[in-house]
Amino acid sequence: MKTPAILLLENGTHFKGYTFGAIGTTGGEVCFNTSMTGYQEILTDPSYKGQMVTMTAPQIGNYGVNPEDIESENIQVQGFIVREASPNYSNYRATQSLDTYLSQAGIVGIQGIDTRALTRILRTEGAMNGVISSETLDLEKLKKDLNQVPVMTGQDLVKQVTCAKPWTWPQENPGKPYRVVALDFGVKHNILRQLAQHGCDITIVPAHTSPDEILAHKPDGIFLSNGPGDPEPVQYAIDTVKTLAGQKPLFGICLGHQILSLALGAQTYKLKFGHRGANHPVRNEINNTVEITSQNHGFAVDPETLPKTIEITHVNLNDETLEGIRCTDIPAFSVQYHPEASPGPHDSRYLFEEFTKMMDAHAQKN
């Protein structure tokens, strides 16, 4: 027998469905992702901390889950919303069903609702808070629960996902030529894999690590990772990057892009409903080509606030928002999207090679 569940949005709209994953009540910012696959990577991406993800594809879970496709050690989403959770799964790597995976992790979800209607609400009115419950269908009680859910703007969620102490990414080959320190704002495993595949020996450090501690590792370059929430409250990381800028080559992705931009004097703002999916077209302003990209962000950098020493390198073709920058006076660049693309296309993986070239050039000058 299916247990009833309900999703209540802050605009008063509610959707009745039935349980998916654990029994319970949860709340967060409701957003949507247009990817058709890669749900396990999405679930374990630390950038989704504080959010309940709606998948726009009509059926999710048909290839199960496995221990290889995780992007962090835990499921990070606050809740999961799907039209239909496949009752069966089939894949040679699968070890269990998505429903069991969520249940074991205590993640509350809902299925059997009209996710097209929900997505249209989010696109029209913008991302908003919501609660999912399979414990109670009492709307008055759930409204009280919803009032306790913090808004995304102003939250420092990096503190919840950064590592507790420095650690190193396992290396397949000894003697890698590039020593890289990665500031962990919620780093995805596949970013670390891509850095390693491009010859980097990586030390991952907590987001609050001081510039002196970072430089003590004698890095050839510094990587600024992806992560969740509003970049502006992460002032400790902004101050650190401000100090490091110009001393070592810097490469930022997603939240790392925003923090680099803030450190250089730009400003950020919250997007209406964000960019989340594996199919967003981006124009490369340097060579006038188009890249299909994987994206997950709810904030963006305001191009009108960029200092003159920053050049725009990439622009989103859907809404003309800023997608990439590079500095003309120091070795630093960043992109808003995910060139490691997990899940997603591989059009932008050349950026990891650009980072190694920048480290080579910096080493030759010094």
User: Which are the catalytic amino acids?
Assistant: 254, 338, 340
Question: Which residue bears the tokens 């997950």?
Answer: 296
Indicate the Cα dihedral angle 339, 340, 344, 347, nearest 10°.
Answer: 50
The set of residues, in sequence order, having a beta carbon less than 8 Å from that of 27 and lying 6+ positions away, is 52, 78, 79, 129, 130, 131, 132, 145, 146, 148, 149
Q: How far apart are CA 342 and CA 278, in angstroms?
A: 8
Residue 218 carries which DSSP code? -
Nearest-5° angle of CA 297, CA 299, CA 312? 95
**Residue 273, C-beta contacts closer than 8 angstroms, at least 6 positions apart:** 31, 32, 122, 123, 126, 127
86 phi and psi, to 5 degrees? -60, 125
Q: Which amino acid is at 102?
A: L
Largest CA distance in the chain: 69
